[in-house]
Amino acid sequence: MAELDDIIHQPLRLKIMAALNALLVSAGLEFARLKKLTGATDGNFRAHIETLAKAGYASVEEAFVGKKPQTTVAATAAGRGAFARHVATSQEIIAGKQV
């Protein structure tokens, strides 16, 4: 029986990965935009991004746009694969194929 991914399963991280997986493979989202899309608060959003990055599921790039810092988050190939497996396992559970 396949297992749900504990890293992705947390609700906010699941939202983050869903948002990132909706993008083209080479695309990322600016930190503030991703935070807004997921409905996250300032409190622990960065910690969840760091958890995904440490697991190799997301990449974080820091750059400057003009004189302003900009952080972009993108799903990695490993993250996309883990998300696809997590979704497939969730669908199996919903369909009653795993008990």
User: pLDDT for 38-82, tens place per residue?
Assistant: 999 877 999 999 999 999 999 999 988 888 888 999 999 999 999
Does the global pTM surpass 0.85? yes
Q: What average pLDDT does the chain have?
A: 91
Band the pLDDT of 99: cuts 50, 70, 90: low
Sequential DSSP letters for the chain: -----HHHHSHHHHHHHHHHHTS-TT--EEHHHHHHHHT--HHHHHHHHHHHHHTTSEEEEEEEETTEEEEEEEE-HHHHHHHHHHHHHHHHHHTT---
